[in-house]
Amino acid sequence: MQRRTWFASLSAAVLAASLPLGATAQESGALRIVVPFPPGGATDMVPRNMQDVLSRLLGQPVVIENKAGAGGSIGMTEVARATDGLTFGVATLSTHGVNPAVYKKLPYDAVKDFVGVTEVVKAPGVIVINPSIIPVKNFAELVAYLKAHPGKVSYATPGNGTIGHMWGAQFIKSTGVDMVHIPYRGAGPAVNDVLGGQVPVYFDQVASSLPHVKAGKLRAIAVSWNERLAVLPDVPTYKEAGHPELNDPSWFGLVAPKSTPAETVARVQKAVAEALKDPAVKQRMDAQGLFVSGTSSADFTKQIASEVAKMKGVAAAAGISID
């Protein structure tokens, strides 16, 4: 478990004297945000990008904890069972869309056990390769290479039941190639093995692989967004590559246990939405290819239910089911 606390040295007196956004004395303890994946991936980057500003706006320390495993279900189960009114979780399209769609048994209910706080960002996806292992330069060349080597090329994802897993399965179905899935326990470990040449292809959000693409260690082949990204202007969208069905992005949001008081949810939603307007926070998100959002609690709660239903259809079409 990794803990990082910003502004933890603030005294109780200072906190009590400066509780913006309607904070109460009971809420002056540390706000805990559980990240259901290891450090180094986009899921971890998003809350850390706004941690300092969020702490200032809430007038209380914000602690981020990584609870990885089982495609994010370990961390989200802990969030679902929390009763302290101070525990929140980073929800993703994996934990609150794909997991409920592909796992036959899941220790939490993505709809019934949580209340959506806000969608924090939209996150375009990307397929990257290690160019020292696969000598291709574009989408067409990659598909041709994979068809010439059926069943011999593996692809990495942040884990079974993640959006990377779903994107990989959709790519295989849409292009007619045959690849071997290698699931990891998060984006960080997956990217490390792709960099090391153990696995040549990787599906995930742009943020986790962007620094390595910029450094020339990985090559981005296509992104899932409605237009080319400013951070990767030379990389085409899946639609440009002839596969608009692969062009849907992912997202990250904040959820709370269903038992969390409504006033606490409202206060945190307001603080996050305000933090996303902060120039420093927006600059961090922009630099990682993330697009800030800040939706209402009601809208995000509805979005989660909608994504679960949508992903069940996608999983069925892709033939993904995990015991």
Between helix 163-175 and helix 297-318 the angle, nearest 10°, is 40
CA 138 to chain centre: 25
* Helix, strand, coil abundance in the chain, percent, nearest 5: 45, 20, 35
Report the CATH number that the domain containing residue 228 is assigned in CATH: 3.40.190.10
Residue 134 belongs to some domain of the structure = yes
**According to the model, what pLDDT value does residue 211 have?**
94
Global pTM reads 0.84
**According to the model, what pLDDT value does residue 11 have?**
34
Residue 234 belongs to some domain of the structure = yes
Residue 150 and residue 47 in one domain: no
pLDDT tens, the chain, 323 aa long: 333 333 333 333 333 333 444 443 344 489 999 999 989 888 999 999 999 999 999 999 999 999 998 889 999 999 999 999 999 999 999 999 999 999 989 999 999 999 999 999 999 999 999 999 999 999 999 999 999 999 999 999 988 888 899 999 999 999 999 999 999 988 889 999 999 999 999 998 899 899 999 999 999 999 999 999 999 999 999 999 999 999 999 999 999 999 999 999 999 999 999 999 999 999 999 999 999 999 999 999 999 999 999 999 888 887 888 87
Residue 153 and residue 239 in one domain: yes
What domain range is 18 assigned to?
3-123+249-318
Sequence letter at residue 245: E
For residue 309, what are the contacts with CB-CB under 8 A and spacing of at least 6?
none
Q: What angle do CA 223, 228, 232 make, to 5 degrees?
A: 75
Residue 119 and residue 184 in one domain: no
Is residue 117 within 8 Å of residue 300, measured between CB atoms?
Answer: yes
Tokens linked to 301: 């709660």
Domain count, the chain: 2
**Sheet containing 87-92, strands listed edge to edge, beginning at the edge strand earlier in sequence:** 3-6, 62-66, 31-35, 87-92, 250-257, 114-123, 291-292
